[in-house]
């Protein structure tokens, strides 16, 4: 039996690109997302191109009971886990409901943690596993108004990945935090900032496939953290090395066009 990778948020963007790329390598994708029509379309595309039958699971990852059902429904080994599903809430914290914020936490923090905990025993038993957790370059930032919990969630994914790697690396399992910046995807469309954000030559959108290729290469090589693209590497270096007094006002000013306010 070939490798099997569980991919969350597989209906579009980075998740779908991971599925296509892995299928081209002979990996069977286990596709997870809320939009069944998108998943079926992607599965059909993969079958036509590579003769691989994808496994489809429709699941709302903000619903803990639904995630429990997902874990129970997956039969057979999971050799790779790509915790890709995510979004942001562009309004200010008090301009959203608590339920909306907690759904975000469930999707972006709790579910990736629970899925990793579910698949790791089998990976350890087989002596092989790959986990890619989608973080972001904002994990290194001071945070800004709007998207209030997003930097915290991505910082969690970064630290979680590094700690987990320290625990399981010697067991043949590679854990990687993939930290892209602005990427060609449906991200700003989904959070309502597509028109407000616009496009800037000083903040280039990285091609989705380039992010995926970098993530898979880092995973295979066993790198704990992967920051794809020169622009993103420079941005993280600045956020890591420059003093907060200088950097924080710049970050917060630049973030304004990605925020919908109160």
Catalytic annotation, pick one of 5, 87, 128, 150: 150
Q: How far apart are CA 71 and CA 90, in angstroms?
A: 30
Q: Three-state secondary structure along 161-176?
A: HHHHHHHHHHHCEEEE
- Tell me if residue 130 falls in helix, strand or coil: strand
Contact predicate 140/240, CB 8 Å: yes
To the query of whether residue 128 is one of the catalytic residues in this protein, the response is no
Helices 36-50 and 13-24: crossing angle, nearest 10°? 20
Q: How far apart are CA 74 and CA 55, in angstroms?
A: 9
The answer to whether the Cα torsion of 3, 8, 9, 14 is positive or negative is negative
Burial of 103 (0-12, 13-18, 19+ CB in 10 A): middle
| Residues acting as catalytic residues | 150
């Amino acid at each position: 039996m070939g490798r099997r990778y569980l991919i969350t948020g597989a209906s579009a963007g980075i998740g779908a690109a991971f599925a296509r790329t892995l299928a081209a390598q002979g990996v069977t994708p286990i596709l997870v997302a809320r939009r069944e029509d998108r998943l079926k379309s992607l599965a059909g595309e993969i079958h036509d191109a590579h003769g691989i039958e994808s496994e489809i699971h429709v699941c709302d990852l903000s619903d803990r009971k639904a995630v429990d059902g997902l874990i129970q429904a997956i039969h057979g080994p999971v050799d790779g886990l790509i915790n890709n599903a995510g979004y942001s809430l562009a309004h200010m914290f008090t301009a959203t409901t608590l339920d909306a914020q907690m759904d975000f936490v469930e999707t972006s923090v709790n579910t990736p943690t629970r899925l990793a905990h579910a698949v790791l025993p089998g990976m350890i038993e087989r002596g092989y596993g790959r986990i890619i957790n989608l973080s972001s370059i904002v994990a290194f930032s001071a945070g800004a108004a709007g998207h209030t919990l997003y930097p915290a969630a991505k910082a969690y994914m970064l630290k979680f990945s590094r700690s987990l790697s320290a625990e399981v690396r010697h067991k043949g399992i590679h854990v990687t935090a993939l930290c892209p910046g602005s990427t060609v995807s449906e991200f700003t469309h989904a959070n309502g900032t597509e028109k407000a954000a616009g496009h800037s030559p000083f903040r280039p959108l990285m091609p989705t496939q380039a992010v995926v290729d970098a993530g898979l290469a880092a995973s295979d090589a066993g790198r704990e953290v992967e920051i794809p693209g020169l622009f993103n590497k420079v941005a993280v270096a600045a956020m890591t090395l420059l003093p907060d007094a200088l950097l924080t006002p710049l970050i917060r000013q630049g973030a304004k066009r990605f925020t919908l306010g109160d």
